[in-house]
Amino acid sequence: MFDYKDPTETNFLESQGALDEYRAILQSQYLNSARVPNSSFTLLEAFEELAVGTVHSITGVSWLAFPKTASVSFETIDQQRFSWQDEYVEWRTEKDDSGSVTRITFTTEFPEYYEALAEVSLDALIAGVKEVIPGANPTVQELLGVSSDPIFGRSRRFRNHLPRNPWNNGEKGILCLTQQFNTLGALFNLLDKCGIPNPGVAPDTVCSIVGGACGPGRNSDPRVCSAAQTLVRNSQGLSLSDPAGINIVELQGVWRINGQRIDINDLTNNRNVWSLSRGGRRAVLNVVDGLTLDGETITSGAQVSQSLFVDAKVISAPETSLPDWAKIGQEARI
């Protein structure tokens, strides 16, 4: 099994005895996608066995975090996260008593991280929540929807209860992606289906002909699908780079505090307005007095998402350089 990294760029999973559980979850995803017939998607192990002199490439496929399919107001997008925030990015907007926005927390983390912790023990899961939300004191009922620690099915209960978990649904915090389309399985499915050569149509239209694997109306899916199809047409084998997931890349736009322009992506000199953590999978915007985006006061997370870019990193190498077992048509050998 591949030595998948802790996506938070820490040793937290290992410290809780959950790294092997996490790796097993990921291995299952990679295997399922690598076995899709005629897809250029393969296991990460293949890129460690390339022909001599071959170097792999890693491409960041980026898109806008704003939910393109949303037909409602910014306020509704913020309030109805599980209905509208569908670009592999979700957020929680905090306000003061006057209704002014004070903080916006964005996440691109998948639930599998916490499922691995839950599989180990309730204590490991609680420790994971506290690691993300300092001061959190979650109960079994809040995390799992039951009154006591179950003997079996802890990780399944955790995932199923996420929409009602106050440490995730916005009542007390936000942990991970929960909207129905924002799943790790969907990301893998998108890459492996769009990695099947389809030369009869333009790469940017493949999204519309791979069934439910790709949502053509979104910002994310068509970009990832087109990138995968372009790679396979250039005779490249591909996979989701380790650590697998979605990365928060940057905020665009003109940002000012009391009229003075700041480089908000300069994490050492942005007056602590914007910070990244969890390996670039969690970000916090502290909405200080006088903060504006393109001359406008910050009034919602959806407003900020119009300037936020994220990406998925795809690893690739020439098909001819891959080991025989990893080439298109050899899926039965995996």
pLDDT value of residue 151? 86
Element holding 102 (H helix, E strand):
strand 101-107
The residue ranges of the chain whose pLDDT is under 50 are none
Q: How many CB atoms lie within 10 A of CB 124?
A: 21
pLDDT at 21: 98
The DSSP code for 41 is B
Tell me the three state secondary structure of residue 276. Answer: strand
- Token digits of residue 202: 């333009």
Which amino acid makes up residue 15?
Answer: S
Element (H, E) at 292: strand 291-293
Helix (H, G, I), strand (E, B) or coil at 4: coil
Tokens matching residue 180: 């129905």
Sort strands 236-240 and 246-251 into parallel, antiparallel or unpaired: unpaired
pLDDT, tens digit, 9 for 90 and up, residues 42-79:
999 999 999 999 999 999 999 999 999 999 999 999 99
Q: How far apart are CA 189 and CA 268, in angstroms?
A: 37
The secondary element (H helix, E strand) that includes residue 61 is: strand 57-64
pLDDT at res. 332 = 86
Output the six-digit token pair for 33.
């996608």
d(CA 303, CA 301): 5
Over the stretch 14-31, which tens digit does the pLDDT of each residue have?
A: 999 999 999 999 999 999
